[in-house]
A and B are shown apart, each in its own frame.
Chain A
Amino acid sequence: MKVLVSFFAVLVLALVAYAGVEAANLQYLFGVIIPYAAFVTFLAGVVFRILKWGSSPVPFRIPTTCGQQKTLPWIKSSKLENPSGLLGVIARMALEVLFFRSLFRNLRTQLSDGPRLAYGEAKWLWLAGLAFHWSFLIILLRHLRFFMEKVPLPITMIEALDSFLQLGAPLLYMTDVVLLLAVTYLFIRRVGIPQLRYISLINDYFPLFLILGIAVTGVLMRYFFKVDVVGAKMLAMSLISLKPALPEVQIGALFYTHLFLLSVLFAYFPFSKLTHMAGVFLSPTRNMANNSRAKRHVNPWNYPVHVHTYQEYEDDFREKMKGAGLPVEKE
């Protein structure tokens, strides 16, 4: 049900754009107005979200320690898994963001007769996750060529590396294949593993289909139904220079479909779980040093509380204390 709803939602979105351009000539709407609106929503939304998170303080120092603490000099502490200072935290975060360190720990718990519990390797999620995110990033970077008059060297290098297999014409980009495979795997896993299907929401299927839709329309454009790339670049350049103008040539409805789905992704981003991209940097269980006994951490909303003082305690028990030979403050 949730899968179908998500799938058809993306399909309808795609058709709307395709038909809009093909039948109703709404190029300006889908090529200029919506992309601008989506981009603004994205920026404003993400900034708003980060400010919102940032406005809540971190009252306590609560890193999840995944290794030996720093104590006595002769005990080797785990600088990456249990950092005691800023450098360690930066390194820990870099590993998380660039290589999904925590996901790499993943295990599969299995119960067999005996009863015996065993914990098997389970690296596929990590691998597919990494493959998906990195290829997504590289594809985004490659797209920068559309927004610049002269394509800078790093981007040409990425393109060259990405197509080093030298297959087909136009040259096949590996990331295109990897992205499609990885997203497909993530989807299959989501419907195939009963527990995962049980926890999944439309909020989980929809972005997967959306990204798949963007990738598929992109691949179709590049390898199968050619669109006018020069025209696309002219549009992109005009958008980024804030002088939006539709090119003279017809770029092709497929392009507008691609652009529209991307716009939807951008607009959807700040309201969804996709904000994990920004959130991961703010996670207090990962981005804090484990040094709370060495360095005082201040809670901005710490307030005085009602305590049971020693004096009250002694008042309650003075006779018993004296009887047991315990010293008292007041005789």
Chain B
Amino acid sequence: MAKLPNPEELSKIDYAPPSKGWMDTPTEFKPGMFCHGSKPKSLETLEFPNPREWRPADVDWKLPENWKQILLEGIADRLKKYRSFRLFMDICVRCGACADKCHFFIGTGDPKNMPVLRAELIRSVYRKEFTIAGKIFGKMAGARELTVDVLKEWWYYFFQCTECRRCSVFCPYGIDQAEITIIGRELLNLLGLNIEWIAGPAANCYMKGNHLGLEPHTIVGNLEYILDDIETVTGKKIKPTFNRKGAEILFVTPSGDLFADPGTYTAMGYLMLFEELGLDYTWSTYASEGGNFGFFTTNELAKRLNSKIYAEAKRLGVKYIIGGECGHMWRVIHQYMDTWNGPADFLEVPKSPITGTVFENAKASKMIHIAEFTADLMKNGKLKLDPSRNDHLKVTWHDSCNTARGMGILEEPRYVLKNVVNHFHEMPEDTIREKTFCCGSGSGLNASEDMDLRMKGGFPRANAVKFVHDHYGVNMLANICAIDRASLPPLMDYWVPGVKVAGLHELVANALIMKGEKERTTDLRGEPLPGKEQKEESA
């Protein structure tokens, strides 16, 4: 692996485009900027075409003989299936409004990371093969032949887009490069050209129920560690249930929350909250993944992985589903799940057993976001909270791309956060809410071999954190996304050392006063609470 340059070097970014036109500038595969190719085993598990050993840096990608025909038929098929695709191929005026909105362009200066040019990579082939003007005028009309080099260019740049939709916010026609990337990756998958960091977790999820490949007994075991930690902090022994038929609620969260910190602290938060409420709920080991790496692969695979959630809800006979904190999981659940695998007519409209609130906003899909659930609890005064337990934290809020631009859950988490912390500072206005910046590692790019790319793509996010870190001493970056919890810590260590990362419900649980708990001296991380440092020492 190439050595990561230091932040000072990395932030010297040259935005001047090359003198030669982009069609004549060959794609150079720079180390640290791309991920390993998918392994044959993963593709076989998923029943995907062309499983074989291959390396993206190799000249020969071992493509099937008729690869071009497969791709062109794939494009034709998707033009028929997606109005978005056909429209976005036709109507871009190249006004450039989207150009400097992409974190990968801002972080690399590479013109092919401008959303408009990322789209042109495929649009140029569309013109050549599917439009009259392109057929007649060729290059004059911005058309070009599909060659192996073009294919490689697609691969390189469609895996340098995190499907964050920031470009779409600024485009006068709402042209969404995320949508084009999604379809572009689908095309690449027709030839077995995924990255292993996506294909591997997706295969795990298909067979074992979650991306990390945690088998049922491991899930139980991991949760037991987490429960022990809860007992250490609160003195309370919690006994959650798994795969329990007849529970009122099924709880689904990304498996990352059960695996490594700081995600595990968020899981502690869910467990403590539900325990305090006496909620009649169950975990599932079969549907043990909220996230969906299928969504970064093909529409079909996303649907296959997602199907487990409703299937399990049906099998267990629950009334409705609560979903944990995750970004792309919620884009999928909010905008796709019911369409793919619904109607969920075997479930009931979600109703909080604590407050009686009926969640009309989820009356078809029957699945609510935990921040919606918790905000409602707080509004109705159902939780006893001591926000001063978070006084050692100066917190800022990172809106995750998918929950911001593919759902719009902006105020619920802020409301919850303000109830549990005393020091909250927003990042600059143009970097939050619908204009939020990606962590740089979304859509399955949070591998370890593409650190250059991740640090570059995460630069705008980190830079905004640095602003509140410098001005207000912010030391905690809170969010509702499992990929954020995995990818922001290294990003912070690189650009803004001293800032830690937390899920929302970790901070909730810190502040939550539980019935019969012992006097807390530490937060969930085992760090002394403000004012309790002394006692720690004397004890």
Q: Name A residues whose Cβ lies closer than 8 Å to a Cβ of B.
A: 5, 49, 52-62, 64-72, 74-78, 81-82, 96, 100, 102-103, 105-109, 111, 115-117, 119, 125, 129, 193-204, 271-273, 275-276, 279-280, 282-286, 290-299, 301-302, 305-310, 313-314, 316-317, 320-321, 323-327
Contact with A along B107-150 (1 / 0, CB 8 A): 00001001011001000000000011100000011100000000
- CB–CB A107/B411 < 8 A: no
- CB–CB B364/A75 < 8 A: no
- CB–CB A325/B220 < 8 A: yes
Contact with A along B1-42 (1 / 0, CB 8 A): 000000100010101110001100000000000000000000
Interface residue? B221 (CB, 8 A): yes
A/B interface sample: 15 pairs, CB < 8 A: A60-B339, A65-B404, A65-B434, A69-B407, A70-B361, A78-B408, A100-B172, A102-B173, A196-B96, A201-B142, A276-B92, A279-B91, A283-B91, A285-B84, A317-B215
- CB–CB B176/A64 < 8 A: yes
In angstroms, Cα B91 to Cα A286, docked, is: 14
Contact with A along B350-363 (1 / 0, CB 8 A): 00000001011111
With A296-B343, A321-B285 known to touch, is A111 a contact of B13 (CB < 8 Å)?
A: yes
Question: Chain B: interface residue count, which band?
Answer: 35 or more
A211 to chain B, nearest CB (A): 13
B321 to chain A, nearest CB (A): 11
- Across the interface, which residues of A come within 8 angstroms of B338, CB to CB? 292-293, 296-297
Q: Tell me the nearest residue of chain A to B287, going by C-beta.
A: A310
Q: Tell me the nearest residue of chain B to A299, going by C-beta.
A: B339
- CB–CB A204/B93 < 8 A: yes
- CB–CB A117/B312 < 8 A: no
Tell me if A's interface is mostly helix, strand, loop or mixed: loop
Interface residue? B409 (CB, 8 A): yes
- CB–CB A305/B304 < 8 A: yes
- Across the interface, which residues of A come within 8 angstroms of B529, CB to CB? none
- Across the interface, which residues of B come within 8 angstroms of A76, CB to CB? 411
Residues of chain B from 209 to 245 with CB closer than 8 A to chain A in the complex: 209, 215-217, 220-221, 242-245
B381 to chain A, nearest CB (A): 13
- Across the interface, which residues of A come within 8 angstroms of B90, CB to CB? 49, 53, 273, 275, 279
Contact with A along B301-335 (1 / 0, CB 8 A): 00110011001100100000000000000000111
With A53-B87, A283-B87, A310-B315 known to touch, is A69 a contact of B463 (CB < 8 Å)?
A: no
- CB–CB A68/B106 < 8 A: no
In angstroms, Cα B96 to Cα A117, docked, is: 19
Interface residue? B171 (CB, 8 A): yes
- CB–CB B242/A296 < 8 A: no
Interface residue? B535 (CB, 8 A): no
- Across the interface, which residues of B come within 8 angstroms of A5, CB to CB? 140
A142 to chain B, nearest CB (A): 25
The 3 nearest A-B residue pairs measured at CB: A69-B408, A285-B174, A65-B408
Q: Tell me the nearest residue of chain B to A271, going by C-beta.
A: B133
With A57-B83, A293-B364, A308-B207 known to touch, is A199 a contact of B216 (CB < 8 Å)?
A: no
- CB–CB B168/A285 < 8 A: yes
- CB–CB B96/A290 < 8 A: no
Interface residue? B81 (CB, 8 A): yes
- Across the interface, which residues of A come within 8 angstroms of B179, CB to CB? 62, 285
In angstroms, Cα B215 to Cα A317, docked, is: 8
- CB–CB A324/B407 < 8 A: no
Q: Tell me the nearest residue of chain B to A201, going by C-beta.
A: B142
Q: Name the residue among A52, A56, A57, A309 with the largest chain B CB count within 10 angstroms.
A: A56
In angstroms, Cα B80 to Cα A55, docked, is: 7
For the complex with contacts A57-B82, A117-B106, A292-B364, 16 further pairs of A-B residues with Cβ separation under 8 Å are A55-B80, A69-B407, A71-B372, A96-B172, A115-B7, A115-B463, A125-B96, A276-B173, A279-B91, A280-B91, A283-B84, A284-B174, A297-B339, A305-B303, A313-B208, A326-B216
From B91, B311, B334, give the contact of A307 (CB < 8 A).
B311
- Across the interface, which residues of B come within 8 angstroms of A72, CB to CB? 357, 359, 361, 372, 375-376, 379, 412
Interface residue? B365 (CB, 8 A): yes
Interface residue? B100 (CB, 8 A): yes
From A59, A125, A295, A308, give the contact of B82 (CB < 8 A).
A59
